[in-house]
Every structure is written in C-alpha cells, then in structure tokens.
C-alpha cells in the first residue's frame, strides 16, 4: 500500500485468515439479520430475503472455509453509521452488518432487501476473508431493481455488471424471497472486486 | 493513482493463494459510492470473562504445554485515533502446531489443556491484553519442506475499523520463507511482536503488538 501521506502511521499488514477461523466465533445473530432471540419482540422493517450462492476459486472449486461479511442499508436506504446517528429513518432493529463462515464454500444469508440510498440501486457490500488472500470486496445488486441502470458502481464495471447482480430464483423459502449470487474469486468469469483500502 | 486500484500479489508457494487471488486489478470505487463501502460493525461484546487467558481451557484447569506469553498492544487508526471497544478474536496453534479445529487434519498432537481461541475487547484507549501459549510452527508444504512460522491470528472489528492479520515472532527461522511475509516485504517487520519483560505476571515472555488499521475505511468517519 502506498504511504505517500507521511503523517499517517504505517499500517499493520493485513494477512490471510488461514483455513482455521474458529467456528466457535460464529454468531447466529449475524448470520440472519431478521432473527431475534426466543421471546424477544422486534422486527427489522422490509422484505426478508435469502441470499444463496457459492464462492468459487480459479478452478471452479468451492472455496472452503471462507469468511463472508455483509453490509447494507436498511429498508429505507439508510446505513447505520456515525453519520446517520439519531436520524428518524434509522431502523432500531436493523444494524446492517452480517457475517458467516462457510465450511464448504456454499452459503446462505438471511437479511432484508436493502432500500435504495440516494443515487444508488439497492446493494449489499460483500467482504471475503479466506486462506491465501487478504480481504477482497465487492457489491451485490438485485435483479429487477429500477436503479440498476443508473447505479455508478454497476456503470463503472461496464459489460461486467451482470456479474454483480443477484438473480431471483423464482420462488420463496420460509417467507423469504430467494436470490442467487455466485462469487468467482479468480480466473475465467472473475467477479469484479473493488479497492476499498485505497480508492 | 492510475485508472485502477491495486494488483493483488500471489503468495509464492501458496497453492490456495494461487487458487483464490483475483487476477484482475482491483476496480476504483466511484466517489459517489464511496461511503457505501464502509461497513460499520455494531459494538459486539461477545466474549467470556476467562477467554483472555488462552493458556488454559478454563480457570480451574491446568496450563497447556509450552511457554505462556502475554500479548499487549494498542489498536488505532492510521491517523492515531484509538479504536475503543473493538473486538479482537484470537486463534493460534498449540505447542505442537495443531489447531483445535474440526478441519485441521494434520494429525499433529492435540493438547487437552489447549483451546487456542479467545476474544478480548479494547479499552477506551484502544488497549488490549491476552495470554496465550507460544504456538508451534507447522509444516504447510511437506512436499517442498516449507513451514508456517509460529504466528497468532487476530481479527479486529470496531466501528469502521476492520482487519484480519497475524502476529509473528522475532528471529524465527521460517519467517523469511513465509508467502505472506514475502509479499509484505520490509513492512513484514510491523507484524512482528516486540519482546518485552513480562514483569511480575504469571507468564514467561511478553510481547507488544500495536495494531494500526490502515486504509480509507478506518478513518472515514473521523
Ligand atoms: Fe495459522
């Protein structure tokens, strides 16, 4: 990483997650953002969805042991950040951050369909940690959303935009709309990834 | 900066790195979309009171085999702002190089007194502390005799600061051949714990490991 701005401290290097991120650190509340503990009343606003897919390597094999992190706006398109603290449209029952470790490389993540932030199509930021790499980051969009044609991130990848759009699989499961999104980490069909550390 | 972002390096002799490292240069984030790429992890106080001491599986159990160490440090952003209430998730191999993980099929020796997993929170100044067993190195590529040098994995999440890294140990013979250390080049030095006197605590070695979270995300809301 370039450190031309010399008044910044030199950053600790990121490193690979390795294959053994402890399953013990799993948090069910982060694997399903619509979930509440038994006996607790509360409900994130919005349309529940399941995002399903596979994380694939350069040879088309499943990337086992990957750690996936998700970040999104609430149903009204508002992110819960220091910048939106106290705003009326922050959903008290939805923080927008999810995480799961996939043992096999296939995943299923339950959340709500994000709303559109100003000037954007609904999307979920996906960060992948795994053995062999430092983090890689992309954004997932949803088939059929009106803002997709004008979204700056989708436009920025040109003809590769379809690689970032999750497809509705034509059915619901457990009251959730099901979307399918595969990630290709490397090689033919590689998913576009973004430089979130420097750009 | 040119028209694209970083080109990610592939760790030499690391098969998984070859299989999983994107080959295309990273794309630049359009400025209007920049803020959407900053995950803000909600405060997560998910640790048990005894987990800071990874030299035992529980307070009333004996010490695991090996040298007990204390690791302390401060988590801050590249601009020097401390990251308080950050969750550190820590995992490491036992003295024999084995993880107590269901997917570790190395066959190396398990230690009934070693879990190798713990979580601690940083305080208001971003400081943290934990005890661990100085981990064993393990043979990562038996075919070419390449070892992973001893290391402790750490995952840090606090607000817009997010990092997964490893702390290495000074003067270890396998440091120089580690694929990720090779990619880090001279900056590898930052990922080595600094030995210090453990003082009066019930451990044999002490290490300081300050963690600086770099990149635009960590300083986005400052
Ligand atoms: Fe490791």
Contacts of A135 in chain B (CB under 8 A): 162, 164
When pLDDT is averaged across residues B122-130 and rounded to a whole number, the result is 98
| Predicted pLDDT at B1 | 44
Identify which of B95, B139, B91 has the alpha carbon closest to the alpha carbon of residue B113: B95
**pLDDT confidence bin for B164, thresholds 50/70/90:** very high
Residue of higher predicted confidence among A122 and A37: A122
Query: Which H or E run includes A153?
Result: helix A152-156
The active-site residue out of B56, B74, B98, B99 is B99
The active-site residue out of B128, B138, B168, B207 is B138
Identify which of A28, A12, A8 has the alpha carbon closest to the alpha carbon of residue B164: A12
Identify which of A167, A160, A126, A170 has the alpha carbon closest to the alpha carbon of residue A145: A167
pLDDT tens across A113-151, in order?
999 999 999 999 999 999 999 999 999 999 999 999 999
- CATH level 3 topology of B40-213: Protocatechuate 3,4-Dioxygenase, subunit A (2.60.130)
Please report, for residues A46, A146, B196, the alpha-carbon distance to residue B72 in angstroms, rounded to integers and kept in the order given.
43, 50, 10
| Predicted pLDDT at A5 | 54
- Cβ distance A9 to B76 less than 8 Å, yes or no, reads yes
Q: Is residue A76 part of a domain?
A: yes
| Predicted pLDDT at A37 | 84
The minimum CA-CA distance between A80 and chain B, rounded to whole Å, is: 7
pTM: predicted TM-score of the whole model, two decimal places: 0.97
| Predicted pLDDT at A198 | 94
Total of domains in chain A: 1
Q: Is residue A98 part of a domain?
A: yes
Domain boundaries, chain B: 1-37, 40-213
The minimum CA-CA distance between A154 and chain B, rounded to whole Å, is: 10
In chain A, where do the E strands start and end?
48-56, 66-72, 97-102, 106-112, 123-130, 133-142, 165-173, 176-180, 183-184
Say how many CB pairs under 8 Å bridge A and B.
Answer: 231
pLDDT tens across B86-96, in order?
999 999 999 99
* Domain extent at residue A61: 28-184
| Predicted pLDDT at B3 | 86
Q: Is residue A1 part of a domain?
A: no
Contacts of B32 in chain A (CB under 8 A): 119, 152
Cα(B99) to centroid(ligand 1), Å:
8
B38 touches chain A (CB under 8 A): yes
CA distance A67 to B61: 31
Provide the β-strand partners of residue A8.
Answer: none
Q: Is residue A8 part of a domain?
A: no
What is the predicted ipTM?
A: 0.97
Residue B203 in this model has a pLDDT that exceeds 70? yes
């Amino acid at each position: 990483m370039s450190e031309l701005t010399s008044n910044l401290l030199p950053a600790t290097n990121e490193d690979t997650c390795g294959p053994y991120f402890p399953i013990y650190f799993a948090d069910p509340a982060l694997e399903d953002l619509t979930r509440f503990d038994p006996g607790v009343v509360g409900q994130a606003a919005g349309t529940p969805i399941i995002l399903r897919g596979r994380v694939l390597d350069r040879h088309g094999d499943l990337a086992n042991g990957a750690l996936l992190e998700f970040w999104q706006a609430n149903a009204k398109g508002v992110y819960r950040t220091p910048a939106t603290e106290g705003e009326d449209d922050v959903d008290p029952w939805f923080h927008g951050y999810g995480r799961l470790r996939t043992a096999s490389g296939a995943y299923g993540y339950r959340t709500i369909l994000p709303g559109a932030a100003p000037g954007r199509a609904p999307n979920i930021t996906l960060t992948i940690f795994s053995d062999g790499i430092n983090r890689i980051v992309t954004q997932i969009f949803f088939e059929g959303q009106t803002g997709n044609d004008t979204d700056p991130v989708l436009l920025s990848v040109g003809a590769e935009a379809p690689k970032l759009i999750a497809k509705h699989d034509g059915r619901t499961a457990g009251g959730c709309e099901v979307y399918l999104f595969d990630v290709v980490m490397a090689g033919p069909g590689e998913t576009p990834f973004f430089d979130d550390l420097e750009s | 900066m040119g028209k694209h972002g970083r080109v990610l390096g592939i760790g030499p002799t690391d098969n998984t790195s070859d299989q999983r490292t994107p080959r295309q240069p990273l794309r630049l984030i359009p400025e209007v979309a920049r803020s959407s790429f900053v995950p803000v992890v909600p405060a997560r106080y998910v640790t048990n009171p005894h987990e800071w001491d990874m030299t035992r599986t529980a307070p009333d159990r004996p010490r695991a085999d090996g040298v007990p160490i204390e690791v302390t440090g401060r988590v801050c952003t590249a601009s020097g702002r401390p990251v308080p209430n950050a969750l550190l998730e820590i995992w490491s191999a036992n003295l024999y190089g084995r993880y107590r993980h269901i997917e570790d099929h190395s066959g190396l020796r398990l230690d009934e007194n070693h879990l190798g997993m713990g979580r601690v929170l940083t305080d208001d100044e971003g400081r943290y502390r934990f005890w661990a067993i100085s981990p064993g190195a393990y043979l990562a590529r038996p075919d070419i005799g390449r070892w992973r040098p001893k290391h402790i994995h750490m995952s840090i999440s606090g607000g817009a600061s997010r990092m997964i890294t490893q702390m290495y140990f000074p003067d270890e013979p396998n440091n120089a051949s580690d694929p990720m250390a090779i990619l880090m080049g001279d900056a590898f030095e930052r990922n080595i714990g600094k030995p210090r006197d453990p003082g009066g605590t019930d451990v044999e070695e002490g290490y300081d490991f300050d963690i600086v979270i770099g990149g635009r995300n960590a300083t986005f809301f400052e």
